Amino acid sequence: MDIQSKLNILAAAARYDVSCSSSGSERKNNNGLGNAHVSGICHSWSSDGRCISLLKILMTNMCSYDCAYCINRRSSSNDRAIFTPDEIVNLTINFYKRNYIEGLFLSSAVYKNPDFTMELMLQCVVKLRMANFNGYIHLKAIPGADKKLIDKAGLYVDRMSVNIELPSRESLKLLAPQKSAEAIFKPMDYLNNRIIEIKEDKKTYKKPPLFLPAGQTTQLIIGATNDHDLGILRLSEGLYNRYSLKRVYYSAYIPVSDNPNLPALLNPPLKREHRLYQADWLLRFYGFKAGELLDEKNPDFDIDLDPKSFWALKHMELFPVEINSVDYTLLLRIPGIGVRSALKIRAARRVGSLSYDDLKKFGVVLKRAKHFITCQGKYYGTSFTDLPIIRQFLLPSEKTQAPKNKFEQLSIYNMMQDNSSAVTGEL
């Protein structure tokens, strides 16, 4: 199989991993300069906010596992391919020299066994660094691989992730019985301990070795099982607290199999995925706990409301609050007030009392916030005691909602399907 055919297959197979956003261009080389690739290039963001493009591929999609939800499962009839480490090194360096990419995102199916796969991936990143490639590398750690291999890989790459995929032991047993929770969490725990160890070494040694300077992440699949949002958020909260993950990514399940244990979905649950990302943001930056946002009586979010509004409507006994005196913790929890707005309000009210018009200048979304605040003692909402009316005001306006039955959800994967063979990199 030629290198371009492999690239078509293994770049397309990598698109289901959402640790970085996929994007592409259909621009072709018409005897001019440069090329853009339909698949294989994704964008990620560095810690200082720069957008960087990555070559996103699998080492192989030949998998010894047969996970029901996975497009690369052993029983799937997809075309199969495998790169050698040298082929990936040459691809990465050639693409980098052409200014197509600034780094590599390398994942893999489990080929033969976890140790064999991890060793191939390790060879690849070692060869890249030996070739003086200093670009960003994000590597998937293979659950079940020897920790010595994972440890060595951590010395050569910037970020590593161990995908949990299914959010509970029950769902893992149902859809991926060859995997175990212990095999997934063990490398996460090891990587976290090594990162802490290297940080401690920095206090003693001038130049301790770099070990995953961009930290570790994971991915959860949403909608492939009956797991509730509450369980998913609790898992994410535990991962942030216990393993200091940089991010938990949520991936709406894309129907790729007719396995009877999978739900019969027509489209991926993208809106639910979006709500979980919003809730994740509340966990990380707004001081919420998973148990505050949801409980056993309400284990799932209202899909029409953002999670903060959903929480506020359940806790109307805390509102309305006076914007000039409310403490910062509760200020952050008012719908329509973000972290930047809250910081501006806290700083400004030290100088003087804030008026309703002042809040507009601070970027507060008053059409939501006015139902939960008073300003200089005055309430600007419509009806504080009528929750259905407040909820109606918190819903997206009709202008921002697509008319029902007129449009259908677009899918980037459907759009790319017919063009997946148009990768035009000169190798």
Domain borders along the chain are 3-22+37-292, 307-399+409-417
Arithmetic mean of pLDDT, 403-411:
52
pLDDT tens-digit readout, 63-109: 998 888 888 888 888 889 999 999 999 999 988 888 888 888 999 99
CA 288 to mean position of chain CA atoms: 19
Arithmetic mean of pLDDT, 206-220:
87
Q: What's the chain's average pLDDT?
A: 84
Whether the per-residue pLDDT at 29 is higher than 70: the answer is no
pLDDT tens-digit readout, 111-153: 999 999 999 999 999 999 999 888 888 999 998 899 999 999 9
The segment with the largest mean pLDDT, out of 216-225, 376-385, 405-414, is 216-225
Arithmetic mean of pLDDT, 305-334:
94
Q: pLDDT higher for 399 or 213?
A: 213
Quote the Cα angle for 213-218-223, to 5°: 160
pLDDT tens-digit readout, 170-188: 888 888 888 888 888 999 9
By mean pLDDT, which of 5-9, 285-289, 298-302, 314-318 is the weakest?
Answer: 5-9
Cα radius of gyration (the chain): 24
Place of tokens 């359940």: 314
pLDDT at residue number 408: 55
Q: pLDDT higher for 274 or 54?
A: 274
Domain 3-22+37-292 belongs in CATH node 3.40.50.300: no
Q: pLDDT higher for 165 or 415?
A: 165
Arithmetic mean of pLDDT, 36-41:
53
- CB contact at 8 A, 337 and 359: no
Whether the per-residue pLDDT at 43 is higher than 80: the answer is no
- CB contact at 8 A, 101 and 92: yes
**Total residue count of the chain as it appears in this document:** 427
Q: What are the backbone angles phi and psi of residue 95, rounded to the nearest 5°?
A: -65, -40
Whether the per-residue pLDDT at 225 is higher than 80: the answer is yes
pLDDT tens-digit readout, 362-399: 889 999 999 999 999 999 887 777 888 888 888 876 55
Whether the per-residue pLDDT at 323 is higher than 70: the answer is yes
3-state secondary structure 90-155: HHHHHHHHCCCCCEEEEECCCCCCHHHHHHHHHHHHHHHHHCCCCCEEEEECCCCCCHHHHHHHHC
Q: Residues of the chain with pLDDT > 70: what percent?
A: 85
- DSSP assignment letter at 316: G
Place of tokens 């607290």: 241
pLDDT at residue number 425: 37
Quote the Cα angle for 37-129-209, to 5°: 130
Arithmetic mean of pLDDT, 223-252:
92
Place of tokens 């290039």: 41
Residue 179, exposed/middle/buried by CB under 10 A (0-12, 13-18, 19+)?
buried
